[in-house]
Amino acid sequence: MRNFILGVVITILVLVFGGLGLALLGFFPTRANVTPPQMESHIAMSALDNSVDRHAPHTTNPVPPTDENLISGMKIYAMNCGVCHGDLDRQPAALEKSMYPPPPNLIVHPPDDAEWHLYYIIRTGVRYTGMPAWDKALPDQDLWKVTAFLSRISKLPPAAQEYWKKTSGGVAPPVSESAEHDHDHN
Ligand code: HEC
């Protein structure tokens, strides 16, 4: 039994120091202008989702989703996030293919996570990726405003939709079927 445990410990040490050694000797690639293998993206995304679920406080958004706040969230997004995550014109982002892992286009594929989940990612960033932590760069109110905007991209109220069209040269925001449905009944 003792030999077995010793064997396990030595194997772990060899793996850890072997991996470190290979890294220090320059065997790991560093290029950011390539696409990660699908398996890697899949595992990393699940690990991120589960870590956020474990660490993020389940707070509700203190900023009410008024027209004014959503438009303000849209402006904050366009100013700080569009370069990586895509602008309101729904074209590919300038840096879409320049990072490893690549930033998802949040305008074309709006996130469907809870607001506390999005807010935590925005506030604290994502380690080992290009996603910055915004807590020291933007006031907390702005983080909640951009969160409110992101979680309502395809169900924005008419005033925010108008503002979107005006600033993106006539490109309309995406509208989800359920939002159209809600609208019919309002
Ligand atoms: C310098 C590029 C860059 C900027 C600027 C940036 N992000 Fe990110 N963001 C990323 C990358 C890269 C990821 C992907 C991280 C990963 O794969 O785990 C990411 C991930 C995210 C996610 C998680 C998406 C998901 O599907 O889980 C959210 C939400 C997000 N960013 C919001 C924002 C907001 C809001 C801003 C502006 C305040 C912003 N980001 C600015 C690079 C950026």
Provide mean pLDDT across the span 72-79: 98
Amino acid 131: pLDDT: 98
Q: Are 97 and 33 in contact (CB under 8 A)?
A: yes
Amino acid 182: pLDDT: 53
- Report percent pLDDT > 90 for the chain: 91
Nearest residue (CA) to ligand 1, atom 9? 131
C-alpha–C-alpha distance, residues 145 and 138, integer Å = 11
Question: Which of 94, 83, 73 has its CA nearest to residue 151?
Answer: 73
Amino acid 2: pLDDT: 86
Rg (CA), the chain: 21
143 contact partners, CB below 8 Å, separation of at least 6:
119, 122, 123, 134, 135
Tens digit of each residue's pLDDT (9 = 90 or more) over 129-160:
999 999 999 999 999 999 999 999 999 999 99
CA angle, 179 then 184 then 186, to 5°: 90
Tens digit of each residue's pLDDT (9 = 90 or more) over 15-29:
999 999 999 999 999
Statement: residue 181 has pLDDT above 70: no
Q: Is 154 in the pocket of ligand 1 (CB under 6 A)?
A: no
Provide mean pLDDT across the span 36-59: 97
Question: Which of 118, 102, 110, 87 has its CA nearest to residue 178?
Answer: 110
Q: Are 67 and 160 in contact (CB under 8 A)?
A: yes
Q: What single-letter amino acid sits at 177?
A: E
Provide mean pLDDT across the span 81-110: 96
Measured in Å, residue 162 CA sits from the centre of ligand 1 at 25
Statement: residue 186 has pLDDT above 80: no
Tens digit of each residue's pLDDT (9 = 90 or more) over 83-94:
999 999 999 999
Statement: residue 38 has pLDDT above 50: yes
Q: Is 48 in the pocket of ligand 1 (CB under 6 A)?
A: yes
From residue 142, alpha-carbon distances to 54, 122, 175 in Å are 24, 11, 24
Statement: residue 179 has pLDDT above 70: no
Statement: residue 48 has pLDDT above 60: yes
Provide mean pLDDT across the span 93-120: 96
CA angle, 162 then 110 then 171, to 5°: 35
Provide mean pLDDT across the span 9-16: 95
Average pLDDT, rounded, for the chain: 94
Q: Is 130 in the pocket of ligand 1 (CB under 6 A)?
A: yes
